[in-house]
């Protein structure tokens, strides 16, 4: 029997699927959030199904003498040393595609809540301050004819763009490569090659890019200075794409009008200055949190594990990471 480690509880469907091919251990949340904890146990397992919070370092992979595959319960995989895995002939997998619609909905929801100050308005009511309709109460930004600048026009970026177009927004985008002309035309989207130009033209700036050496702290003090004072920032990519200290200062100084963040650089810790920043919507990394999507994420990871453990050709496992 194969031995499979799942680093924290996930939906039951993928667990039951994996129990058909091996002995599955589901660890309590937080058990394997350190390299040391993983190293002490990974030698016993043939497969690892892990979270973005799981540090799958070279040391961990070298300790996994039986390890054949690491499958991330996420689209991103910056927590895994992919180069080391390839050198050690350990397969890696992520979960593309299945999060797209849930994340597109969520990004639109964040923007609506932020632009119309829904959190502040609800708090105002719950605190007993609502005494009737106010002509100047909680004035926000209408989205029609505003410009949405998207950094990272992959599947999720495009899903957000489709929704924003339905609200009458204009789309500009920055991407490593220009998207297909048919998609660009469908979205009436304009490709902008320069980050500073994109930022200065955007009423709303959305971050949908992966975390790489190039995108680490991409949004820093210099870039924030270029944003219009009325601009809003939405991030559902990775926390470290933003210099959180610089963002917090910009919000406190009202250099930008607001930010909605689902991810943070040092999760689960949140920068203390962000916690006190005005017009800031902070959520605990829940962009993919629907029943359908979380089941699909788990099954995609589980199917990759099954394929590798049963010796299927790599070509039959579409979500293996190849680079």
CA distance 311 to 302: 14
DSSP state of 240: G
Residue listed under structure tokens 């251990």:
25
Residue 90 is encoded by which pair of tokens? 């350990």
Is 238 tagged catalytic?
Answer: yes
101 is catalytic: no
Closest by CA to 108, choosing from 140, 152, 156, 74, is 156
Is 165 considered catalytic here?
no
- Catalytic annotation, pick one of 155, 201, 238, 294: 238
Q: What DSSP assignment string belongs to 34-89?
A: SHHHHHHHGGG-SEEEE-TTS-B-HHHHHH-TT--EEEESSS--TTB-HHHHHHTT
Q: DSSP 3-state assignment of 159?
A: helix
Selected catalytic residue, list 35, 221, 245, 267? 267
In eight-state DSSP terms, residue 146 is -
> Which residues face 172 on adjacent strands?
149, 190
* Residues with catalytic function: 238, 267, 285
């Amino acid at each position: 029997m194969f031995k499979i480690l799942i680093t924290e509880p996930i939906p039951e469907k993928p667990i039951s699927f994996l129990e058909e091919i091996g002995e599955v251990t589901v660890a309590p949340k937080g058990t394997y959030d350190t390299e040391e904890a993983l190293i002490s146990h990974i030698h016993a397992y043939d497969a690892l199904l892990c979270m973005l919070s799981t540090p799958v370092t070279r040391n961990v992979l070298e300790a996994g003498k039986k390890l054949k595959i690491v499958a991330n319960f996420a689209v991103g995989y910056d927590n895994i040393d992919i180069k080391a895995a390839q050198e050690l002939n350990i397969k890696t997998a992520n979960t593309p595609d299945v999060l797209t619609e849930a994340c597109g909905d969520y990004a639109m929801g964040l923007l609506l809540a932020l632009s119309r100050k829904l959190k502040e308005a609800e708090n105002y009511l719950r605190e007993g301050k609502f005494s009737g309709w106010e002509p100047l109460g909680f004035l926000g930004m209408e989205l029609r004819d505003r410009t949405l600048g998207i950094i990272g026009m992959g599947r999720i970026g495009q899903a957000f763009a489709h929704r924003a177009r339905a609200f009458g927004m204009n789309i500009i985008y920055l991407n490593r490569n220009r998207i297909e002309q048919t998609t660009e035309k469908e979205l009436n989207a304009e490709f902008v090659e320069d980050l500073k130009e994109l930022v200065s033209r955007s009423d709303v700036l959305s971050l949908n890019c992966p975390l790489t050496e190039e995108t680490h702290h991409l949004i820093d003090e210099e870039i924030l200075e270029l944003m219009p004072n009325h601009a809003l920032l939405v991030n559902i990519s990775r926390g470290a794409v933003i210099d959180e200290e610089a963002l917090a200062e910009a919000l406190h100084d009202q250099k930008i009008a607001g930010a909605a963040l689902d991810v943070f650089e040092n999760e689960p810790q949140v920068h203390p200055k962000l916690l006190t920043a005005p017009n800031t919507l902070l959520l605990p990394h829940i962009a993919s949190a629907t029943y359908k999507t979380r089941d699909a994420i788990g099954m995609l990871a589980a199917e990759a594990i099954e394929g590798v453990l049963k010796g299927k050709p790599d070509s039959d496992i579409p979500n293996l990471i190849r680079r």
